[in-house]
């Protein structure tokens, strides 16, 4: 075979030689089209990789920052049982953060770099965690509404086109389901209690309802990345579709609990087959996201301090790894 013949056959064989970008793009598009997974070693467009790193990092940061509002009540839980449940939940959230940082590493991101971006406010986390937890009813309402909204957001991500993210979400969703139930069970218990306990549940519901609806992100018309993310199979439903699903699911739960939801416009619409609801205050959402929520400064300050306090652990791990490597080189010589 002559050199020119070899070149010609390589150009037509799909896996011989170095395929050009167009060929790789076609292969990527076909994989998405067939609803199969993209894996870390596969070629992917740079925009796809960057979008995933940004989304997964933001998700990981939310899990880690989300430990703070609930961690606040660990030492003041009303019973040993409630303390054990809350401790298990907060630990789960740490685990979720770690899986997700690992998923970003399969895309070439560096965990230390992502943490640096979080604590210097160059990357965001969910706006919901910038609201304060004022009493133990908030723990129940967070489980019910915040973890409930997280489930609606995250179940479709189990079918995300990026393999490591989709697989991480399967386990995360199972744990989120426990979080939602423990919250609802706590609220059920409080609603069977004194008038004061019932008032606490209603007050916490009133405070967390709107921020929970904001967890689905801005309205579709104001969410420029949604379409591309859906075309890539990263996202499966729009923000407004997910918000509606959450509301339809939650209204009967509020009825069963015996609390009212703080929206006079909330009503069943027979024609649409969904609940109608009022528009959340998007100005507040933007303000909180931009850093001016009630607890933004405190959350970041705590995260920064925890990172600095952990410096000795990272130093010790690095020294240990260096010693191991040295020993291995010594043994090989
Ligand atoms: Fe979580
Ligand atoms: Fe959770």
DSSP 190-254: HHTS-HHHHHHHHHHHHHHHHHHHHTT-S-GGG-TTHHHHHHTTS--S-HHHHHHHHHHHHHHHH
How far apart CA 326 and CA 36 sit, in angstroms, is 43
Residues, CB within 5 angstroms of ligand 2 (ion): 147, 176, 179
Answer yes or no: is pLDDT of 307 > 50. yes
Q: Average pLDDT, stretch 113-139?
A: 96
Is the confidence at residue 202, as pLDDT, over 60? Answer: yes
Q: Which ligand is nearest to the CA of 60?
A: 1
Q: Residue 16 pLDDT more than 60?
A: no
pLDDT exceeding 70 applies to what percent of the chain? 94
Token pair of 90, please?
């907060």
Kindly give the distance from the C-alpha atom of residue 192 to the centroid of ligand 1, in angstroms, as a whole number.
Answer: 28
DSSP 87-104: HHHHHHHHHHHHHHHHHH
Q: 302, 294, 300, 301: which is closest to 131 by C-alpha? A: 294
| Statement: residue 3 has pLDDT above 70 | no
The SS3 of residue 180 is helix
Residue 150 CA to ligand 2 centre (angstroms): 7
Q: Chain centroid to CA 106: how far?
A: 17
Give residue 284's pLDDT band: very low, low, confident or very high (50, 70, 90): very high
Please provide the average confidence, as pLDDT, over all residues in the chain. Answer: 93
- Ligand 2 centre to CA of 51 (Å) is 23
Q: Of the bound ligands, which one is closest to the alpha carbon of residue 180?
A: 2
Quickly state the pLDDT bin for 224 (edges 50, 70, 90).
confident
Q: What is the mean pLDDT of the segment spanning 295-308?
A: 96
Of 6-20, 150-164, 269-283, give the lowest mean pLDDT range.
Answer: 6-20
How far apart are alpha carbons 198 and 322 in whole angstroms?
57
pLDDT in tens, 43-100: 999 999 999 999 999 999 999 999 999 999 999 999 999 999 999 999 999 999 999 9
HSE-CB at 327 with a 13 A cutoff on CA atoms is 6
pTM: 0.90
* Rounded distance from Cα 98 to ligand 2 centre (Å): 14
Proximal ligand: closest to the CA of 144: 2
Give the closest ligand to the alpha carbon of residue 146: 2
pLDDT digits (tens, 9 = 90+) for 168-198: 999 999 999 999 999 999 999 999 999 999 9
**49: CB partners within 8 A, 6+ apart:** 107, 108
Distance 212 CA to ligand 2 centre (A): 13
Q: Is the pLDDT of residue 13 over 60?
A: no
Torsion sign across C-alpha atoms 290, 296, 299, 302? positive
141 Cα to the center of ligand 2, angstroms: 12
Q: What is the mean pLDDT of residues 288-292?
A: 92
pLDDT at site 19: 77
pLDDT in tens, 30-51: 999 999 999 999 999 999 999 9
Ligand 2 centroid to residue 221 C-alpha, Å = 28
> Residue 209 above 60 pLDDT?
yes
Q: Which ligand is nearest to the CA of 98?
A: 1
């Amino acid at each position: 075979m002559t050199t020119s013949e070899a070149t010609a056959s390589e150009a037509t064989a799909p896996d011989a030689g170095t395929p050009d970008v167009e060929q790789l793009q076609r292969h990527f598009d076909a994989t998405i089209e067939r609803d199969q997974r993209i894996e870390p070693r596969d070629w992917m467009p740079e925009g796809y990789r960057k979008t995933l790193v940004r989304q997964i990092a933001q998700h990981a940061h939310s899990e880690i920052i989300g430990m703070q509002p609930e961690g606040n009540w660990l030492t003041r839980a009303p019973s040993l049982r409630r303390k054990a449940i809350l401790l298990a939940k907060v630990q789960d959230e740490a685990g979720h953060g770690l899986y997700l940082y690992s998923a970003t590493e399969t895309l070439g991101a560096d965990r230390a770099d992502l943490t640096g971006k979080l604590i210097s406010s160059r990357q965001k986390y969910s706006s919901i965690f910038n609201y304060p937890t004022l009493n133990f009813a908030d723990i129940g309402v967070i489980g019910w509404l915040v973890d409930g909204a997280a489930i609606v957001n995250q179940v479709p991500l189990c079918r995300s086109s990026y393999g490591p993210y989709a697989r991480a979400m399967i386990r995360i969703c199972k744990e989120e389901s426990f979080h939602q139930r423990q919250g609802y069970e706590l609220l059920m218990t409080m609603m069977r209690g004194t008038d004061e306990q019932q008032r606490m549940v209603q007050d916490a519901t009133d405070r967390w309802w709107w921020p929970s609806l904001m967890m689905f992100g801005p309205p579709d018309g104001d969410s420029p990345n949604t379409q591309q993310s859906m075309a890539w199979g990263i996202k499966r439903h729009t923000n407004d579709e997910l918000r509606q699903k959450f509301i339809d699911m939650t209204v009967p739960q509020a009825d069963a609990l015996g609390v009212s939801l703080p929206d006079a416009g909330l009503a069943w619409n027979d024609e649409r087959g969904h609940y109608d609801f009022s528009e959340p205050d998007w100005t507040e959402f933007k303000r909180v996201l931009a850093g001016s929520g009630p607890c933004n400064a405190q959350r970041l300050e705590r995260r920064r301090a925890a990172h600095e306090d952990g410096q000795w652990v990272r130093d010790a791990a690095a020294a240990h790894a260096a010693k191991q490597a040295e020993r291995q080189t010594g043994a090989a010589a």
